[in-house]
A and B are shown apart, each in its own frame.
Chain A
């Protein structure tokens, strides 16, 4: 019997064969995004949105060329209800309410019956901290900390992005620049640039990379109304908070590719499952 067990532990010589994955065939799948681009054939919506590509090197606008944007991302139906739901969610998911009240048990005293049950002619009471007493405890009051976290459905979040981008573009609040290279690190240059280009009271600059060029980082650091953001941080609240949103060309292409991928991904049903905190 023992021999049988020992035999079962004899190592089987491994016959492994490593195969390196040819990455090219995976990459070609993303090229079928261009097929997704061709999906729109309607005369009503075929036209890709064309925008000017500007520069940041000079205070005056110099138009470098035209850039085509996908209508499914930048010319979506502006669903202001979905935008509102996104803003509400972004406000609430990080909000913790610290409002707090004491119950009758937590209030000081109140353990003694205030007066006898019978014979006084007064109403019967068992505690001076009962909720109907002045200075009594509060029943069903707010308890601290109350977490207001919830998760918005994936498609509502995605649709919020496309709606907000489309609204911003339709209102001429979206600008596209080739890169973020500016000649000086002087904040006055950015102030003048925003003033001359009529970019309004606040500007959000979105780049593809989260390590921005040195000059623009230093120049915008002291200006509170000009903010930098990597493309992965793009959100509805910030886009609405800032008057003008400036995309670099790479950032616009990246967000467009990401959104188109999600709109056409094959495993979309995985995203519709219930959100779990510990997933």
Chain B
């Protein structure tokens, strides 16, 4: 506001040649692109060097990011407790659990009714789903003073639900089976 009134004032005070100059800075409001020169043809611009496969390209690549989920690095032990699948261990099992696309075990905790209902949920099960469920129930029973355990099998969706929070227990069991 103050700036515009200043220019109005200068229209009166300044001689003609400086008026045009002072008006040319009006683009404070119109946008900066008006203040730059128009394109005069590529011959007036500095030369551009075209480089193929420069050493700096790896930094650009780093910014672009990966398209697919990378495979985990091969280590003997992982600090998070995560373990890769071990074909030597699970090859004789009659069931199989597919890892998720992030290489994690598909064992989840579902909390509903404001934390009152906790359900352990296993999915991506292939093969003998009944045997896996029985093994999980036996495992939980051995840890919980032989209390009765409740579970549900959805054969079509290939999922198991077990009442209670036994996610870590089942994950460790599945890791020990090489799944």
Contacts and interface: CB of A to CB of B under 8 A. Distances in A.
Contact of B101 (A13, A22, A263): A263
Interface of B: 21-22, 25, 28, 35-37, 45-46, 48-54, 56-57, 60-61, 64-71, 85, 87, 90-91, 95-96, 98-99, 101, 126-127, 156-158
Given A5-B25, A266-B67, A20 B51 contact: yes
Nearest to B158: A77
Given A264-B101, A266-B67, 11 more contacts: A2-B25, A6-B25, A17-B51, A20-B50, A20-B51, A41-B85, A42-B90, A43-B91, A261-B67, A266-B69, A266-B70
Contacts of A20: 50-52
11 contacts: A9-B35, A11-B35, A14-B45, A14-B46, A17-B49, A22-B53, A39-B99, A264-B68, A265-B67, A265-B69, A266-B65
Given A19-B51, A25-B57, A35 B71 contact: yes
Given A6-B25, A77-B158, A268-B101, A29 B90 contact: no
Contacts of A261: 67-68
Interface in A30-46: 30, 32-33, 35-36, 39-45
Interface residues of A, number: 40
B102 to A, nearest CB: 9
A46 to B, nearest CB: 9
B156 A19 contact: no
Nearest to A24: B53
B157 A79 contact: yes
B98 to A, nearest CB: 8
A17 B157 contact: no
A40 B99 CA distance: 9
B96 A19 contact: no
A123 interface: no
Contact of A81 (B25, B68, B156): B156
A80 interface: yes
Contact of A29 (B68, B95, B156): B68
Contacts of A6: 21, 25
**For B50, B69, B95, B156, which residue has the most chain A Cβ atoms within 10 angstroms?**
B69
B68 A266 contact: yes
B66 A266 contact: yes
Contacts of A36: 68
Contacts of A122: none
A36 to B, nearest CB: 7
B87 A41 contact: yes
Given A42-B126, A45-B96, A2 B53 contact: no
A26 B87 CA distance: 31
A16 B48 contact: yes
B66 A29 contact: yes
Contacts of B157: 77, 79, 81
B48 A17 contact: yes
A45 B36 CA distance: 64
Nearest to A11: B36
A99 interface: no
A25 B51 CA distance: 15
Contacts of B45: 14
A41 B57 CA distance: 36
A21 interface: yes
A18 B51 CA distance: 8
A36 B68 CA distance: 9
Contact of B96 (A9, A15, A42): A42
Contacts of A263: 101
Q: 8 tightest A-B contacts by CB?
A: A42-B96, A41-B87, A264-B68, A9-B35, A44-B96, A22-B53, A29-B67, A44-B127
A227 B159 CA distance: 38
B84 to A, nearest CB: 10
Nearest to A77: B158
A115 B127 CA distance: 77
Nearest to B126: A44
B161 to A, nearest CB: 16
Nearest to B99: A39
**For B21, B70, B101, which residue has the most chain A Cβ atoms within 10 angstroms?**
B101
A11 B67 contact: no
